[in-house]
A and B are shown apart, each in its own frame.
Chain A
């Protein structure tokens, strides 16, 4: 990718990748994977974030946690490997890697809440410019609320990364001034990885770190959040 650095003022500014389109889901998963340091203990949320595992370098010593009681989770099980007693948080049969450990649910969430997990990656309905997260409930009166481990992860992991599309199918931004969906956690998101850009929410607002197939100026037109200069 050709990078055009349009740093305004001093310090490093956003890197605009304008010679390409938005990231595909696979490219996005690979981009998130690059933000996971070697040797980390990591929880990948159910849904799209599970695809990040395919992009983690096998020699980086990254250990995957699944909240249903395992460290050292391996890839999805196929054929004879399928064991109903061994699943991930999405209930998909998985495998174990050498060095794996099993533990019960209270221990699994103690290691999360206790700040022992380095990184978690979650999907999101909305993220606010201060890093509030909404990812468990649309608030629709007909929807059945289901939170799972999302609130525990949002509060417990040392760094919470979000992986999501920047816009809904109807074109509404999912990076917003304030979440309109019920919250999962407040001021908990470190980085928002999206198909159009990489964002860092914070107390002062959102910084754009990278763009894909667009520019900061164009994102400013499409988003209702103030992007920090």
Chain B
């Protein structure tokens, strides 16, 4: 379906159902879709499974969604950080489930979902607790573990600029998980700092083609950095 442009972030996240799996872009706060998450909090969907690299920073973005009590489970690579106090408290109180996935495996499992791959064998994690209970196979003399795709009902990503056809370009390391998540969910919502007419983005520079993007909304960049990072 062609991309629709929403007037507000609330309109962009309309219809997210309780129990959905939501892919949330960003690495720390770089590429975090703040406005879409705030709108999702107002929208009210709960019992969510959130897939993201981290489990929230400070009290904004994903941390705010957690704090609002809407998240049942987090699938991520790196929950514990200098400013992950919201998640830490919920986890220690037993109020949120955690699945830790190696970062590259997390990305590849979503890539597989978007690319129609049934499952894949990876050497990452073999012999560690994260491979426990998973099928393994020796390929070319090396042990591999079977990993299944992660598909989202919804993906919330942040990009730099879009055209009205939904083609996206990103900015620096804020790109991170955005392009992969945009392929891996039934409904993909992107917030961008600028929406330009078609023809104004050089087709050679498009990172996420509009075919992947269902809804677009314009939102200001918040320019936040992780506190206490070192």
Contact with A along B104-144 (1 / 0, CB 8 A): 11111011000000000011111111100000000000000
Contacts of B27 on A, CB cut-off 8 Å? 68-69, 87, 91, 105
A112, CB-defined interface residue at 8 Å: yes
Would you call A93 and B107 a contact (CB within 8 A)?
no
Contacts of B107 on A, CB cut-off 8 Å? 104-106, 108-109
B31, CB-defined interface residue at 8 Å: yes
Contacts of B47 on A, CB cut-off 8 Å? none
Would you call A184 and B128 a contact (CB within 8 A)?
yes
Would you call A84 and B128 a contact (CB within 8 A)?
no
Would you call B77 and A112 a contact (CB within 8 A)?
no
Would you call A146 and B78 a contact (CB within 8 A)?
yes
A70 to B176, CA, bound (A): 9
Would you call A147 and B173 a contact (CB within 8 A)?
no
- B interface, how many residues as a size bin? 35 or more
Would you call A103 and B175 a contact (CB within 8 A)?
yes
A149, CB-defined interface residue at 8 Å: yes
Give the contact stretch, choosing among A52-60, A151-159, A221-229: A151-159
| Chain A at the B interface: SS class | loop
B28, CB-defined interface residue at 8 Å: yes
Nearest CB of chain B from residue A22's CB, rounded to whole Å: 23
Would you call A84 and B175 a contact (CB within 8 A)?
no
Would you call B180 and A86 a contact (CB within 8 A)?
no
B177, CB-defined interface residue at 8 Å: yes
Would you call B230 and A92 a contact (CB within 8 A)?
yes
**Given A91-B226, A104-B179, are A145 and B100 neighbors across the interface (CB < 8 Å)?**
yes
In this complex, how many residues of chain A approach chain B with their Cβ under 8 Å: the count is 47
A12, CB-defined interface residue at 8 Å: no
Contacts of B111 on A, CB cut-off 8 Å? 106
A148, CB-defined interface residue at 8 Å: yes
B80, CB-defined interface residue at 8 Å: yes
Would you call A146 and B100 a contact (CB within 8 A)?
yes
Chain A CB within 10 A, most for which of B124, B171, B178: B124
Contacts of A82 on B, CB cut-off 8 Å? 225
> CB within 8 Å of A: which of B138-157?
none
Would you call A70 and B104 a contact (CB within 8 A)?
no
**Given A85-B31, A109-B103, are A146 and B110 neighbors across the interface (CB < 8 Å)?**
no
A83, CB-defined interface residue at 8 Å: yes
Contacts of A182 on B, CB cut-off 8 Å? 128-129
A118, CB-defined interface residue at 8 Å: no
**Given A69-B176, A86-B173, are A113 and B28 neighbors across the interface (CB < 8 Å)?**
no
Contacts of B102 on A, CB cut-off 8 Å? 147-152
Would you call B124 and A87 a contact (CB within 8 A)?
no
B224, CB-defined interface residue at 8 Å: yes
Contacts of B127 on A, CB cut-off 8 Å? 132, 183, 185-186
| Closest chain A residue, CB of each to CB of B126 | A186
Contacts of B177 on A, CB cut-off 8 Å? 104-105
| Closest chain B residue, CB of each to CB of A149 | B103
Chain B CB within 10 A, most for which of A70, A103, A146, A150: A146
B207, CB-defined interface residue at 8 Å: yes
Nearest CB of chain B from residue A32's CB, rounded to whole Å: 19
**Out of B31, B57, B123, B126, which one reaches A113, CB within 8 Å?**
B123
B30, CB-defined interface residue at 8 Å: yes
Q: List 19 A-B contacts (CB under 8 A).
A: A67-B104, A69-B173, A84-B223, A84-B224, A85-B173, A90-B230, A91-B30, A93-B225, A102-B170, A104-B175, A104-B178, A113-B124, A144-B87, A147-B130, A155-B124, A182-B129, A183-B127, A183-B129, A186-B128
Q: A67-B103, A85-B174, A87-B225 are in contact. List 11 more A-B contacts (CB 8 A).
A: A104-B207, A105-B177, A145-B100, A146-B77, A146-B81, A147-B101, A150-B102, A151-B125, A152-B102, A182-B128, A183-B128
